[in-house]
Structure 1
Amino acid sequence: MTLHVNGKPCTLQLEPRCTLLDALREILQLTGAKKGCDRGQCGACTVLVDGRRINACLTLAVMQEGRQITTIEGLASGDTLHPMQQAFVTHDALQCGFCTPGQICSAVGMLAEARAGHASAVRPLGPVTLPLGDDEIRERMSGNLCRCGAYPNIVAAVRSACGTGGGT
């Protein structure tokens, strides 16, 4: 099978039961996405598939054939950080860093969803005005846990990236 990861085709031979997370980490050696809970509860494994955020531990790699997969390693352009990555650095939105790749990928996907008018528990369907408020950022990012409690800085980073092209 061929997975398109970070803009490059990767031809792999995988068992049908191999998760996308295991293919990324164990076969392709892209270790940014973390195996936190392996149950889709923590968000540490969040990657983007066709611009939408998913938990890589909950999907089989074979289900993603033909789709564009973006990991934390694929967000930067050479030595230039993606605006969301830069916002996380600027706002010191990490402590131990374990959840950071998933938080950043989720934030990029979340902003794209918001721009597309996807509803949240805070806002109904329809156009979304950016930047998002703190309550809406917290709600939309609620699937990503931080064991260190860096949430105030994560929210600040996402808020600042709203106006700088932080989405896909």
Structure 2
Amino acid sequence: MSTRWYPIYQRGNPQLRIFLPNFWMKLVQPSPKQLPNIVHFQCSMEMTKYDIRNYLEKIYSIPIINVRTKIALGKFRKDVGRGYVVKDDDIKYAFVTLPKDTKFKFPDIFEKAKDTDDDHLKSLEEAKKSFRNYIDRNKDRSDVPSWFSI
């Protein structure tokens, strides 16, 4: 991986340095539907196709057929406060092709949230029903304050 910048050697022992990877990859859900054996990543700009292949094969033991990369240009926009033209950072995308028999399905991380929404709706309906019962019990007693109930 020729794009890494390693810290300069320092004299003395022990060498109190930790080598952490300078690369990162983020799994992204593609906007157009893709074949089930193609995975879409957002990665650091310094990574080459060979770096991406080695990263996935060596660290995650994923068999890879092909890697294609694309650099998306950052948007130009006007700064709200000063009126300057500002350019967002460019983004590098990697399209990784897996073997034909391998199928990748993007994980549905909001599946659990759908179940909890049903529970919230049920509890809301119960609260509305109890409030209606409270109103119906005290509708004939307009002279009594609301905090004083039967």
Task: Give the TM-score of the pair, scaled to structure 1.
Answer: 0.22
The structure with more helix, counted as a fraction of residues: 1
Q: Which has the higher contact order (CA 8 A, sep 6+)?
A: 1
Structure richer in strand, relative to its length: 2
Q: State the TM-score, normalizing by the size of structure 2.
A: 0.24
